[in-house]
Amino acid sequence: MKNLDPARAKWIRIRMGLLCGTMALGLGGFVSSAYRVQVEDSASWKETAENQRQRRLHIEPKRGGIYDRNGAALAASVEVPSISADVVEMLKGVDGQNAQGAALIDFSTRIAGALGMDPSDVHQKLANRRRFVWLKRRVTAEEAQAIRDLGDVKKYGSAYAPGKGVVRGLAVEGEGRRYYPGRELAGPVLGFVAPDGFGKDGLELSLDEELRGRVEEVRGLRDRSGRLIFSEGTTDESSLAGHDVHLAIDQAIQRVAERELDVAYRTYETKGASLVVMDPTTGDILAMVSVPGFNPNDYGDAEPDARRGRAVTDRFEPGSVMKVFTVAAAIAAGSLKPTDTIFCEHGNYSIGNVTIHDTHQNDWLTVTQILAKSSNIGSLKIGLALGEPGLYGAYRRFGFGEPTGLPLPGEASGVLRPRGRPWYEVETANASFGQGISVTTVQLATAMSAIANGGKMLEPILIRKVTDSRGNIVKEWTPRVRREAVPQAVAKTVTEMLTAVVEQGGTGTEAAMSGFRVAGKTSTAQKVDPATGKYSEDKYTASFVGFVPADKPRLVLAVVLDEPMIGRYGGDLAGPVFRRVAEASLRYLGVPPSNAAPKIKNVKGSDAEPNLVAIAIKPAEPEKPEGNAAPAEPVAVAGPAPAAGPPLPSSVKVPDTAGMGARDAVRAVGAVGLVPVIEGSGKLVKQLPPAGSAVPKGSSVRLVFEPAS
């Protein structure tokens, strides 16, 4: 630059300085940006990169199971195949918009053929061209294999042509499905699980959070097509699983109770029915039945009415069953002595402008006779002597008017009296024999348990424990006494009185059992007609609540039949259900008969058929329905052949039912004291034994029906 003109050399130095400065600024900016990206903003850029190369999956944990008290599965989760599609992958290799549209129509037709679906429905799912779409969930093994065949390159080839070539992007994925091995067994108690994995109705709903477990998000690497090529997995799969629920219900007792109640439901043509079996010493609910029931595996085919747990949701006027608690409360309060006799006004008694009737014109009755003959007048006099505050307080001590606390949705608390005011005199009288108040079946069973166990009001237990997937106990329910309903001596006294109900002259002789002393109470309560607000002439609730053995109770049963069309009296309809369920349950539990209990001898001696048995008990007088309507003549009712029970010892002739319909045939057979057993439907084609045969009263008559040709 020495030989250059000084002016030019100066200009060159200026340009070099500007160039170096520009380069220095550029390098500084580059370093600054690199520092910001790699140091200051590294966390956000790293997250962006991870999001681009990773795929997020939500892992649904296995739903916990529901088991009975002995570990038998009532509800379990199984894995079934479901079909999904990646439409972007499916159209890979098909160029052009028109060609892809035609390919989707072709794919839809082939997929629909494999899955038994409408091609238009499949095309509608594929038209959005998403990376993931469900085509059909919970498919059969044959459908899953057909989809695998469509994706088999060896079978169809990799090159696509209309109607030919492999269908890419199809996936057979395992998906959990709820399965109920017992089918209809305890359906209203269990509820069901919807396709979205959430519980609906019953325990599946109330314990949904416990059963579903914890959902975890899992990330894995994906390639440029978005396919998962690596998964990090879960840290501990068992920690995500839902908890298992162990019930107090015994599957064997539940099955017997459901069978017998369903037979009564169909035989008596009732609107519905419920039954609760409890252990009075612990509060365990061994069975809880509501009919009609439903199969949770096919919940979509069931009506909402069939899914309702009637034992806890349905309120009804209990009727004469409440006389038990009225008497117990009066004895405990000292307003009544067990040896007292009460004048029952020849069967008619007026309070204000209301007249209360008894079935028979009784004069003086002991307290035991009032329960055995189910005298409304005797009961109301006891209630009035006790007083409104005493009677109301006693009912509350027995748990009426408050929910039992069972973990089931929709439990009703019942109604004792209008809010904000006490009972008037006539209301107190009505309440003393179960009118003008409402209860649930489980409340009746719980209250009767307090009489059976010596006066302790126990908290009913439906769930014994909840465990995690490793078997560790998360929660546990143990027997808990809420309060003392009545003193132990009073409970023992009332128990002895209740045994008279199923003995000669009582209203519950149909509940008597061979080898066991039974304590219980019948009820035939008129229902209120919503249209008129008055008691109906032809709608009743028939029930029987009792326990056995009376001296050392093992079981408490509450049987409620809603609006029977054939018959009406609780002793005739609900009593046999009590007997059959109790007999089978006691045999199952290994409870031996007592020598002190009544013996039921065979009509023909020891060599006669075991099911044809009789006991020398006078026919029970039907109890008066609660209400003011005059009692109708008792209607003979029918039921299944009992395993044991107290039919009368006389012989009768089998009536001729040829040409009759099912209802008329049942009435004809039941009217002579025989038990019809119905098989099939349609036209009567056979009856066994044949018409005119002489058989012991209480024997079963088989009626075979076949559809008309």
C-alpha to C-alpha distance for 328 and 29, rounded to whole angstroms: 95
SS3 call for 28: helix
Main-chain dihedrals φ then ψ at residue 701, nearest 5 degrees? -120, 120
By DSSP bridging, strand 535-548 and strand 555-562 are antiparallel
C-alpha to C-alpha distance for 96 and 100, rounded to whole angstroms: 6
- H/E segment holding residue 165: none
- H/E segment holding residue 403: none
Query: Please, are residues 320 and 370 in contact by the beta-carbon 8 Å criterion?
Result: no
Q: Please give the structure tokens belonging to residue 384.
A: 């009035």
Query: Please, are residues 629 and 537 in contact by the beta-carbon 8 Å criterion?
Result: yes
Using H for helix, E for strand and C for coil, what is the string for 212-226? HCCCEEEEEEECCCC
Enumerate residues 6+ apart whose C-beta is below 8 A from 372. 497, 500, 501, 503, 505, 506, 507
Enumerate residues 6+ apart whose C-beta is below 8 A from 154. none
C-alpha to C-alpha distance for 349 and 362, rounded to whole angstroms: 12
Enumerate residues 6+ apart whose C-beta is below 8 A from 34. none
For the question of residue 320 being annotated catalytic, the response is yes
Burial label, 304 (beta-carbon count in 10 A; 0-12, 13-18, 19+): exposed
What DSSP letter does each residue of 269-287 carry, written as one string? T-SEEEEEEE-TTT-BEEE
Query: Please, are residues 619 and 506 in contact by the beta-carbon 8 Å criterion?
Result: no
What DSSP letter does each residue of 329-381 carry, written as one string? HHHHHTS--TT-EEE-GGGEEEETTEEEE-SS---EEEHHHHHHHT-HHHHHH
Given the residues 320, 375, 379, 469, select the one marked as catalytic.
320
Query: Please, are residues 167 and 151 in contact by the beta-carbon 8 Å criterion?
Result: yes
By DSSP bridging, strand 199-200 and strand 192-193 are antiparallel
- Phi-psi label, residue 213: left if phi above 0, alpha if psi -120 to 50, beta otherwise: left
Query: Please, are residues 674 and 647 in contact by the beta-carbon 8 Å criterion?
Result: no
Q: List the beta bridge partners of residue 80.
A: 175
Sign of the Cα pseudo-torsion (640, 643, 645, 651, in order) = positive
Q: Please give the structure tokens belonging to residue 302.
A: 């069931």
What DSSP letter does each residue of 422-459 carry, written as one string? ---HHHHHHHHTT-S-BB-HHHHHHHHHHHHTTSEEEP
C-alpha to C-alpha distance for 102 and 108, rounded to whole angstroms: 10
Enumerate residues 6+ apart whose C-beta is below 8 A from 406. 285, 312, 442, 460, 462
- Residues annotated as catalytic are 320
